[in-house]
Structure 1
C-alpha cells in the first residue's frame, strides 16, 4: 500500500509483520471500491415475490421510535427497502418507506419544550452530540457514535436524493451528526477532527474512553463502513464534494483494514497457530474472536457483516476467502448448514458472494426464512439474485466515478453505474470499458 523505500528490517506486531522505513512521513494508496446507492433491477428475479415482501414490510412501519442504535437500524432497513422498491417499479411502496424515513428523522431533529426523546443535544463538556434515547454507552461513555449516526446520515441522504429541497431545512442537523463523527475541519470549534477514525491505524475505534488494558477497540467494522457509505451519499446528493471524498477516503481505508486485520484475506497477519479465519474485535493490543454481546459464531462473524446494503459488495473482493470463512462457520455452528436459525440469513448472504446458486436455492426453499433484526426478505432476494445473475465483485476493475459496480460471471463482465446528476455522464473503467450513464442506473455488459 506504500511505495516508501524499506530498510529490509521488520518486527512482529499484533497486526502482523511491521516493515521499517527511514523518514518522518509516508503515504499509502489503496484502490477505490465502487459502490451503488441501490442494486440493479436485474436482481429482481420474481417481481411478484419481491412486491409481496415489500408489502409485508410496509405493513410494519408504525413501530415506536427506539434509541439511537435500534432506531438507526430501522432507518437503515427503510433506506434499503426504498432502493428495492424503486428498481422493482413499486413507486407507492417506495413513497411509504420514504415518508416514514422523513417522519422519523424530523422527529429526531426537532426538539420541543420539555421533550426528552427522541432528540439530539450538544454536550459542551465533551464536545459531542448525544442522541436521546442513547444506548450502549453512547452518552456517558461516548461509545459507538459512528455506528449509530451512520444510519441517520444514510437515511437523510436517501430522502434528499429523492427530494433535494428537504436538505434545505434539515441539512444543518445532518452535518452536525457528520461533524460529530468525522469533522473535516481541524479548527472545528465544536467537534474534534475525525473523532472516530484513526488515520495511522487505518480504521475506526468504537470506545469513547478507551480505558482498557488493551487500549481502544472496535467490534462492528461493517457498521463503520456503513457510516462512511452514508457520508459519501450525503456529500453526493448535496453537492458537497469535500464530504463525499472524505467518505470515499474513510470507506476505502477502513475497507483495507477489514481485509487485513479483521479478515486477514491473504493469510499473512494472524499468528500461524491461530485457529480462526476472522476476528470479531480489534483491540489496540490484541485481536479477539469474540463480541461484547454473544459467543455464538454467527454473531462473532456477522457483526462484521451487518447491515447488508448495496455497499456490502466490498466483502466479496476475495471470493476464496469468503468460502474459507463460510465453511468454517458451517463447521462450527450448532446447526451446521441448517441456516434457518440464528443469523443464518446473514451467513447465506455472505456466502452468496462466492456461491450465489447456493443462496438462491436456499431462499427458494425457505422464502420466509428467519432473519437478523436489520435484514429483510426483500433485500435478501435482491442481493442474492443480483449476484446470481450478474456475478461476483470484480475487484480488478476500478473507475474514477465512485458510483459503480463491476460484476463478473463465467468471464463475462457487467458494468453498473449510477449517475446522480440530471444529465448523461461518460464513465470510464480501468479496463478501457466506457459507459454513457443516463441519470439513474445504467447497466451494460462486455458482451464477452
Structure 2
C-alpha cells in the first residue's frame, strides 16, 4: 500500500508544476498600526464575545480599590495572592517574601531548602510592621490595592495610615506613614543588638538567626527595643527597611548611600523592536538602586551609560544572584528570533516523498475522524495540528491537499468564533475583564481552569495558530473574522493601559521575570506557576504569525519579542545544564528540566506526572513542534544531554507513543537518521502532533552540527540564520 502511494506521489511531483503564490490580500481600509505604534494591540472595531456571569470567579472588590474595579484586572500577576481568599498568602517580590495579614505586613529574606526533587524558599516573618493602634478602628482591616504597574503594587492599610510601595527588585521595603502614627516592628527571632546613628534616622538590628536589618527614616524617629519588639511614638514620613546581604561593610555603605531615593512604581516600555525599557517613578533624592536577576544582566544594553552595575553587591534568590544596578531606567535587548511560517533550514527535495506520503494519509484522516472534544485546550491542539499540515504542504509543494485542510479549518474554527459551537464556546467576563469559556464559567475544573484564567496563552495560542494559517491561505475568510481573531489575541497580548480597554495588560507575561505564568485566579502558597514553556512560546509565536497574516508589523514585532524573551527565560530557568550554578548540585545532577516552575519553588514533578516520567517532562517543554522549536532548543549540547537523560524512562511499561515522539524529535537535532528510524516505528502520536509533522521536523534538521555558544547571546540558530 505504502509503495503504491509513494509511486503516486512521485508521479504527481513530476507532472505538477508549482502554482503561483496567491495574490496578497487587498489593503485594509485604514492602517492597522500607525507610526509610531500606539500602546495597545486591538482590532479596528473592538469585538466582544457575548457576556456571561461566572459562578466560579472570586470577588475582586475585596482587595482592589473602587477606582480600579471599572478597569480590567490582572489575573496572573506577581501579587495575585494578595487578591484571593483572605489575601494573606506570601508573594515573592525580589529579594523578599512578603505576606499581608489583617493590618500588618511581614517581611522575609528567605532561606532555601533543597533536595534532588525540589527547591523552595522558606518564609519566616523576620520582621512584621504594623501600627501600634488602629488609627481608624472602623476601617477595613485588610489591605487595599490602590495601584499597580508592570513592576510594582501599592498596598494601603485603611485602618492604620500605612502605605507600602512594593517594587520588584528593590533591596528596600518602603513604607509611607501618615498622621503621626505609632509604629511597631516585631520579629519571631531574638534581637541580639539594636543601635542607631546620632541623627536617629538609621537603626541597625541584629537577630539571632544571623540576619542584620537596617531601618532608615526620612526624619528622626525614636525607636525602643525589647526582646523581639521595636516600638515608636507617633511618626509621619518614609520608613525603609533592608536586609544586609552579608557582613561586608562596603555593602552597608551602599545601602546607606542609596537609602534616600525610593521607587513608588515601575513600568516596562516597548520602545522599539527587541528593546524593552524599565522606567521607575522615584521620590526622595539621589540615585536609584535596584536589583537585577541573571537574565536581566545578560540583556542589559552594554551601550547604556545611564546604568552602573555593582557586580559585588548581591542578594541571594531562587532565580540566581540578584546584582545591584544603579539608574532610573534600564534598557534590555533580547537576542532576536526569526518568525517564519516554514522551517528555518528548509527541506531537501529528496525528502519530499516520505513527507507527502504521510501528509496524504493525515489529510484524509481529517475528514474521516469526527471531532469529539469540546475542551478548549484539546480542540485548540486539534486545529493547530491541522494547520501545521497546510504549512507543511506549502513547504513540500503539495498544494493539492490545501483545499481539504482549508475546509476542515473553516468548519472547525468558525463555530468558536460565531458562537454556534455546541457544548462550549468563548464568552466575555466583565468582572475581571477577559475571555472565558461557557464550561469554564460554570465549572472551575473545566478546560483546565480556563474560566479561572488558567493557561490562557496556551489555549488561545493554539487557536491563534490555526486562525493565522487559515487567514494566510484564505485572506477573504481572514478579513471576515479578523475582529474575533484580534479579540482572542488581545486577551493575553493587550499592551494598553487605558481604562476603557476590554482586557488587562499582558495577562500572562511577567515583565520582571520576563516569562509567563499559567496559574490564574487560584491561591498558591508558592505564588504563580508555569509548566510548559514551549506552549507559552507558541502563544506569542502564533500572535506574531497572526501579524504576518494580517500585515500587522507591530503585532509581529511584539509577538516575536515576547517569544524571544520566553525562549531565553526557559533556557535560563527551566533548562538545567550540568555546568550551570543556577541550582544546587544535588538538584542539577538529577534534573535536566524543571517540571513546574513556581515564583518561590522549583519542582521536578508535573501536574499530571511524577518526576520519573522523564519523557513527559521533556515533552511538555517541547510541544508543539513547529519552526520556533528550533530556536527554543538551539543548544545542541544541552539537547543531547536531555535526550540521553530521558531515554531510560522510555523502557518503562505504559509509556505513551505520543511522548516518545517528542523525545525522537529532539534526538533528530543531533542524530537525524536514528530519530527517523524510531519515528517510522511509532504507532501513535500526541493529539497536537502527527507523523507528517515529525517527519517534516526531522527532515528539516541539517546534516551538519550546529555551532553552539553556551552562556551568551549567540546560539546555533542565530548563527545559522544570520549566515
TM-score interval for Structure 1 and Structure 2 normalised by the shorter chain = 0.7 to 0.9
The answer for the alignment partner of 1:373 in structure 2 is 687
Q: Is the 8 A contact 2:544 2:555 kept in 1?
A: yes
Q: Contact conserved, 1:210 with 1:217, CA < 8 A, in 2?
A: no
Q: Which of 366, 379, 384 is equivalent to 1:71? A: 379
Q: Kindly state the Cα deviation for residue 342 of structure 1 after the two structures are TM-superposed.
A: 5.7
More displaced 10-residue stretch of structure 1: 385-394 or 302-311 = 385-394
Matching of residue 213 in structure 1 with residue 521 in structure 2: no
CA offsets per residue over residues 185-217 of structure 1, 9 Å max, x none?
Answer: 121521101011111011001111141000010
| Residues 339 and 560 in structure 2, CA contact (< 8 A), matched pair in contact too | no
Comparing 56-65 and 321-330, the one that deviates more: 56-65
Query: 2:519 & 2:662 partners in 1: Cα distance?
Result: 26
Q: Does the 8 A contact of 1:357 with 1:388 survive in 2?
A: no
Q: Distance in 2 between matches of 1:201 and 1:284?
A: 9
Q: CA 1:395 to 1:315, structure 2 compared with 1: closer, same or farther past 3 Å?
A: farther
Which structure shows the higher helix fraction? 1
Tell me the alpha carbon deviations over residues 214-268 of structure 1, each in whole angstroms, 9 at most, x when there is no partner: 0010011111100111110111221212211110111001111100000044623
Q: How big is the shift at 1:333?
A: 4.3
2:416: which partner in 1? 108
Cα deviation per residue 1:382-427 (whole Å; 9 max; x = unaligned)? Answer: 111111447647779x99xxxxx9698xxxx6x6xxxxxxxxxxxx
Secondary structure of 2:475's counterpart equals coil
Aligned to 1:444: none
Deviation (angstroms), 1:339: 8.7
Aligned to 2:433: 127
Tell me the CA shift for residue 59 of structure 1.
Answer: 2.6
Q: Is the 8 A contact 2:636 2:708 kept in 1?
A: no
Q: Report 1:243-254 matches (<5 A).
A: 243-254=555-566
Question: Structure 2 residue aligned with 1:5, among 291, 308, 311?
Answer: 308
The residue aligned with 2:466 is 155
CA distance in 2, matches of 1:318, 1:146: 25
Q: Is the 8 A contact 1:228 1:248 kept in 2?
A: yes
Structure 1 residue 178: Cα displacement: 1.1
Which structure has the highest strand share of the two? 2
Deviation at 1:335, TM superposition (A): 4.2
1:276 and 1:88 map into 2 onto residues whose CA distance is: 38
**Aligned counterparts of 1:231 and 1:140: Cα–Cα separation in 2:** 21
1:315 aligned partner: 632
Distance in 2, Cα, partners of 1:201 & 1:69: 26
SS of the residue aligned with 2:384?
helix
**Alpha-carbon contact 1:225-1:254 (below 8 Å) kept:** yes
Counterpart Cα distance in 2 of 1:283 and 1:240: 34
Aligned-partner Cα distance in 1 for 2:621–2:422 = 32
Question: In structure 1, how many angstroms separate the alpha carbons of the residues matched to 2:383 and 2:675?
Answer: 26
Other-structure match for 1:263: 575
Deviation, structure 1 residue 60: 2.4
| 1:20 has 2:328 as partner | no
Whether 1:387 aligns to 2:701 is yes
Q: Secondary structure at the match of 1:27?
A: strand
Please say which structure displays the higher CA radius of gyration: 2
Query: Does the 8 Å CA contact 1:77/1:374 hold for their aligned counterparts?
Result: yes
Stretches of structure 2 lacking an aligned partner (at least 5 in a row): 1-298, 441-445
Give ranges in structure 1 of 5+ residues lacking alignment: 400-404, 416-428, 434-448
- 1:252-298 CA-partner distances (Å, limit 9, x unpaired): 01111100000044623122221211101110101111111112221
TM-score scaled to structure 1, two decimals? 0.82
TM-score by length of 2: 0.52
The separation in 2 between residues aligned to 1:299 and 1:325, in whole angstroms, is: 12
CA contact (8 A) 2:618 2:662 kept: no
Aligned residues: 402
Find out whether 1:301 has 2:618 as its counterpart: yes
Aligned residue among 646, 667, 670 for 1:354? 670
Shift of 1:86: 1.6
How many Å separate the matches in 2 of 1:372 and 1:339?
12
User: SS at the partner of 1:287?
Assistant: strand
Task: Indicate the residue corresponding to 1:441 in structure 2.
Answer: none
The answer to which of 269-278 and 301-310 deviates more is 269-278
C-alpha distance in 1 between matches for 2:639 and 2:438: 38
Q: Residue in 2 aligned with 1:330?
A: 647
